[in-house]
Chain A
Amino acid sequence: MADTPILLREQQYHQIKAVLARLRMDSSAKVVFLVDKDGQEIASQGEVGNLDTTSLASLAAGNVAATGGMAQLIGEKEFPTLSHEGEKESIHISVIGRLLLVIVFDDRSSLGLVKLRSKQVSHQLATMFEEIAAGDFDDDSPFAGITDEDIDSLFS
């Protein structure tokens, strides 16, 4: 059977966005994302513009999964942080439980600052996500009453 769905309520979403906005400011980053380890984007903050955030989320998750696989081959549980430094733009990824905190930054910031600030919020984000993951798929779910016609209408 597939995993239980993760439900992100409106209030929780705005709480996460607020934490990301603060982090973005404190780390002088361009964009800050929170991504699920399976590659689903949860929330983002910053100069998103034309950035393809969906693809970035999927590739970040693939990247973490691949390096996690390498870690296990050499006897490590995982590599908790990954950094990719480019000529102008850089990416820092930290693994927080089943979340990935992805920070895109340029020369207005530095890897040291980004690392420090991400570490500072990781506990808070982990706690918030624990609450989200513990949430019930309750009766008010709009999908409990989903009909075959609803599903068919997607393909018509």
Chain B
Amino acid sequence: MEFAFIIEKFILIIVVFVITLVIAMYSTLAERKVAGFMQDRLGPDRAGIFGILQPLCDGGKFFFKEEIIPAGAHRPLFILGPTLAIITACIGSAVIPWGQALTIGDRVVELQVADVNVGILYIFGVVALGVYGIMLGGWASNNKFSLMGAVRAASQSISYELAMGLSIIALLMVTQSLSLKEIVAQQEGFVNWNIWAQPLGFLIFLICAFAETNRVPFDLPECETELVGGYHTEYSSMKLGLYMFSEYINMFVSSALMAAIYFGGYNFPFMYDLGLSANWITIIGVFVFFIKIIAFIFFFMWIRWTLPRFRYDQLMNLGWKMLIPLALANIALTGVFIILKDKFF
């Protein structure tokens, strides 16, 4: 491997990492702002103009809080829990294609950290790992509420991963590829976006993404009214901060994934009709991609301040009795459409 390649990837990784963290950081502010606005309030606006310094203050506060590890806790696992949660949240963004290739001089720089040919499976693996952080943390706390939160998280993520996987299968039947780069590249322009081919699949995927990131209305693992704080009841200081942060990073990564596989990623309408050079299309594409991601993050928050939390049996009913049959039907329908399309068009 040549040296320039390593440097290039290194820079890209740093940039993606920083952007992920900054967006996650400002998601915490945005969440409170959105909550405020939807409840006819202003939200935090004292730290800096429009509350722009609030995340820094929160982070500083987290660092200076006393750190308490309960006497009965399993120390190594208690520390491993939030570590694993944040690591798995961060590595998910590795396979997401942020833009087309950028040509600098005679070098072609791919705006994707790793073009894994089974990118979607990689993301699934990482998402499935994510629940270990919650499970370990909840179990190691030696607290019944934490344990219940952890058990809920585990069974919830298993239930919804099934429906999520099935909705993806229908998508793969359309795209004929597992590589995210390939999938995004296919959705050129506006009419080729996968949302038009897979509206039902997208709906199922969206619901499952809410469940996988433990967001309202599926935030039963940390349900305050029943479980004090759920899996992070015993956590304090920056460990709690890491758990919260990993939730926001998960939200960012799943928003990016949804924008990439269903909403065309960096593609935007009339991208080749404007007479722009390839580099400009790439740069605009990256911006468009981030606008889509931010729209999805806003949607996550919008849902949070609209819907109440599910009851646990309702959650399981929805997962097993509604979404899985629906996803299976979606696969069958997609197959029928593909055959019809081959036969008659």
Partners in one complex: no
